[in-house]
Amino acid sequence: MTKLLYLSTAILVGGTVAASANADLQKMMDDPNQWVIQTGDYANQRYSDLDQINKDNVGDLQVAWSFSTGVLRGHEGSPLVVGDVMYVHTPFPNTVYALDLNNEGRILWKYEPKQDPNVIAVMCCDTVNRGVAYADGKIILSRADTVVDAIDAKTGKLVWSVTNGDPSKGETNTATVMPVKDKVLVGISGGEYGVRGYVTAYNLSDGSMAWRAYSTGPDDEMLVDPEKTTQLGKPVGKDSSLNSWEGDQWKIGGGTTWGWYSYDPDLNLVYYGTGNPSTWNPSQRPGDNKWSMTIFARDADTGEAKWVYQMTPHDEWDYDGVNEMILTDQEVDGQMRKLLTHFDRNGFAYTLDRENGELLVAQKYDPAVNWATEVNMDPDSDQYGRPQVVAEYSTQENGEDVNTTGICPTALGTKDQQPASYSPKTQTFYVPTNHVCMDYEPFMVSYTAGQPYVGATLSMYPAPNSHGGMGNFIAWDNINGKIKWSIPEPFSVWSGALATAGNVVFYGTLEGYLKAVDADTGDELYRFKTPSGIIGNVMTYTHDGKQYVAVLSGVGGWAGIGLAAGLTDPANADAWQKAAGRASTGRELGSEERNVATAGLGAVGGYAALSDYTALGGTLTVFQLPN
């Protein structure tokens, strides 16, 4: 790549004096040569029009260059490319590097915020950060300690800084931000600490607060209008959240907002989901616990909620609703519809009309899902839109201090935050998934500010009666609610996917492979083992007219906690499932046939330890075709 040396120094960052920051940003997002926000575009499709690398030549892919981030913990998110500069972020301490693509990745500037390390101790599941965003000539970094820094994209100097939460109460941040018009949307983490979730819009110019909307509590604090805000076409009514909790529990009731955000410029609506209600012990918080586990559609200017849809009322399994909302325009029954597709932790993939929140499809995207039979689709039923819970797997029904066994999916969900991708060419979604089940025993806990507020014991194991692996990478038809094809993976797929016009789909694996598969068939076309397990998201860009694919390695996050030592030996798990089941509930647990099948999984290597395959280390790897 000596060629790069001879390139003239180009302008580092696009014009910052554009008439409208929003129009400018939209233009940059539409340009497939750049990757300016984490999700690629507002629709969260993670699709690129680039096709130099395609299904015929992707097998020739090779490493162009790599870069060590200097940080060991879990690396989520991806780099950005704005003009001729690449921006790379790290987990805590949340360092940001600006790399000069004209000069073999030389470091233009490095920004390292000073943060109190005590915040590390209140981050429930590793110190991950899902990356920076570009807007208005600034790089926006939402730090672990909830401080949001706007950094001059050219100089690396701090422009403004604002504090979004209080880590001493367990409020932290792992998410990226989404710039919209003249504002930037920021979420909050801490559902395992009883944090009351909220989303905040700050003004891009100076960091002043424009609006804040809570997930729970009084209508005015949620920016919910009892008459105008609807769920499944009906107004939510007065005190919709307050009525769904006992006493003041909503104040420590979770519904945090640590996932992804999307935006429809025509409807001027932003979309996101809220997390689990606190605690994990459902018996301690009677009611539907609104609006945890909910898809929100809010006005981008005022924050007012247009519609909501609670997917898992009164959660009993920690199925956070924070996964990304992917916006597409597709034909349904001969009519073009503005759709929103969401792969929820609870194992159902939802297709809704994003204009009014009408529920069109809700189907399981892993056949192992068993906690509910279906989502009721009858508008005349009092159960409309609600999952039909199977009593055997209800941790509420079985009660405190009872170990409910064999629940699929596990608390990590059939999919966690790792974002899916959509190709308009194939009209198919490509989804990284977990294939793991669990036992769940809730018990009484007391709340202390800034301390974990969990209240359940979990153990996890690969889905029974299956291939023995802990993950799948699937192709999904969101109109018919069907899996097109599925690639079994030994470990959960914890990396965000990328689909391209070259009919290639990329994703990373926990062992550290970057894989490329055929968008039509799922056939593997390429794999390369990077230095560490991949929990980052694949992105693509061009420089000097040539297409590159980049991904962060660095194992960690929930995957690094749950899978580092491997899951419980299913044979052993099975033995104690039976024993514990009889002892604590007096009920038999499933058929002998199932038990035998579960025990047999060991042979497939389903409980292999991730630590036998990979070790810590943050590295960026950039791929290219040979010259």
Partner 1 sequence: MLKLSLAPAAAAAAACLLAAGAAQAQTETPAADNITATHEEDGRYYTADDIPTFHIADDGTVDWLTYSGYRRYHSECHVCHGPDGEGSSYAPALKDSVMQIDYYDFVNVVTNGREHVDSSNTNVMPSFGDNANVMCYLDDIYVYLKARGSGELPRGRPEKHDPKPDSVRAAEKSCLGL
Residues that bind partner 1 (CB under 8 A): 70-74, 91-93, 117-118, 120-122, 124-127, 192, 403, 439, 441, 443, 445-446, 448, 451-452, 454-460, 555-556, 560-562, 564-569, 572-573, 575-576, 579-580, 583, 610-611, 616
Nearest one of 187, 78, 176 to 133, comparing CA atoms? 176
Minimum distance between the CB of residue 449 and partner 1, rounded to whole angstroms? 9
Q: Give me 182's structure tokens.
A: 């003249």
Would you call the peptide bond into 291 cis, given omega within 30 degrees of 0 as the criterion?
Answer: yes
Q: In 3-state terms, what secondary structure has residue 77?
A: coil
CA–CA separation, 88 and 552 (whole Å): 9
Minimum distance between the CB of residue 396 and partner 1, rounded to whole angstroms? 17
Q: Is 301 a catalytic residue?
A: no
User: How far from chain centre, in Å, is Cα 440?
Assistant: 23
Minimum distance between the CB of residue 389 and partner 1, rounded to whole angstroms? 23
Minimum distance between the CB of residue 319 and partner 1, rounded to whole angstroms? 17
CA dihedral 9, 13, 17, 21 (to 10 degrees): 160
- How far lies 259's CA from each of 189, 364, 368, 526, in Å? 9, 21, 24, 30
Which one, 442 or 468, has the nearer CB to partner 1?
Answer: 442
What DSSP string describes 361-375? EEEESSTT--SEEEE
Q: Give me 78's structure tokens.
A: 């991806």
Could you tell me the sign of the dihedral formed by the alpha carbons of 221, 122, 471, 40, in that order? positive
Q: Give me 256's structure tokens.
A: 């945090």
Minimum distance between the CB of residue 355 and partner 1, rounded to whole angstroms? 39
Minimum distance between the CB of residue 122 and partner 1, rounded to whole angstroms? 7
H-state helical runs in 393-492: 395-398
Report strand pairing: 619-624 vs 546-553: antiparallel
Residues in contact with 317: Cβ distance below 8 Å, sequence separation at least 6, in sequence order = 346, 371, 395, 407, 411, 438, 440
Q: Strands, E, within 523-617: which ranges?
A: 524-529, 539-543, 546-553
Minimum distance between the CB of residue 407 and partner 1, rounded to whole angstroms? 14
CA–CA separation, 578 and 581 (whole Å): 5
Report strand pairing: 498-500 vs 47-48: parallel
Task: Please tell me which residue in 145, 219, 318, 366 is annotated as part of the active site.
Answer: 318
Q: In 3-state terms, what secondary structure has residue 284?
A: helix
- How far lies 70's CA from each of 91, 253, 458, in Å? 10, 37, 33
Residue 550 and residue 620 in contact, taking contact as beta carbons nearer than 8 Å: yes
Residue written as tokens 């929930």?
558
How far separated are the first and last CA of the chain, in Å rounded? Answer: 9
Residue written as tokens 């009514």?
237
- How far lies 476's CA from each of 47, 132, 177, 349, 606, in Å? 15, 29, 27, 9, 24
CA–CA separation, 49 and 499 (whole Å): 9
CA–CA separation, 243 and 352 (whole Å): 26
Minimum distance between the CB of residue 391 and partner 1, rounded to whole angstroms? 22
Minimum distance between the CB of residue 585 and partner 1, rounded to whole angstroms? 13
Minimum distance between the CB of residue 12 and partner 1, rounded to whole angstroms? 29
Residue 234 has a CB neighbour count (10 Å cut-off) of 9
Which one, 116 or 374, has the nearer CB to partner 1?
Answer: 116
Residues 287, 258, 146, CA angle at the centre, nearest 5°?
120
User: Where in the sequence numbering do the catalytic residues fall?
Assistant: 318
